[in-house]
Structure 1
Amino acid sequence: MVGVCLGIPGKVVEVSEDGLAKVEFANGVVVDVDASTVGGVEVGDVVIVHAGIIISKIDEEEAKRLYSDVEEFIRDLEEKSEDFEGLLRRLGEVA
């Protein structure tokens, strides 16, 4: 079995001396995350966050590509959810 981790891009809006940073995501949500695992994190950096930890810094172009990929992933999930709900309805009609 293969595990999949989803890292979300966001922009650093504040860095504290205790190894934490505030990161703003595309939906406007700001979250405190652990910045101690990646050196030199500064306000304005675009980072990838997984499970509350900054796992890497990326450039703006990579962030745009990742935002697009995440949006496509969400659309795919929504379509599959609608397909699954339709299947459940049809199964309920048969039973």
Structure 2
Amino acid sequence: MCLGIPGQIQSISDPVNQLAIVDISGVRRPVNIACIVDEDHPLESCVGEWVLVHVGFALNRIDPDEAAATLDLLDQLAEFDTRELEIANLK
């Protein structure tokens, strides 16, 4: 199973290698954005874009509302998992 996580491009850190700093749920990490750069979307225009990140690569751009909904769902799953662990530890 593959999981892509929404993140927002904060800055271009290495234009030659097409690397950007992406904020993923408050964690900033380098991500390769070569897959989303083209003639219509040059490197500099990517700052501020929401992207789907998987294993260090931005696979595609996503709508900000879709990003927010996905992040909310991931937060709910994490909360559910935490509650389940707490219940299991009480048994």
Instruction: Place the TM-score, normalised by the shorter chain, in its bin.
Output: 0.7 to 0.9
Which structure is larger by alpha-carbon Rg, 1 or 2? 1
- Name the counterpart of 1:19: 18
Does 2:28 correspond to 1:30?
yes
Structure with bigger strand share is: 2
For 1:31, the aligned partner's letter is R
Unpaired stretches in structure 2, ≥5 consecutive residues: none
For 2:24, the aligned partner's letter is F
Superposition RMSD on alpha carbons, in Å? 1.6
TM-score (norm 2): 0.78
Identity %: 27
TM-score (norm 1): 0.75
For 1:8, the aligned partner's letter is I
1:78 pairs with one of 59, 77, 82: 82
Higher relative contact order (CA 8 A, sep 6+): 2
2:73 pairs with one of 61, 69, 72: 69
Paired residues in the alignment total 83
Distance 2:59 2:89 in 1: 35
The alpha carbon displacement at 1:50 in A equals 1.4
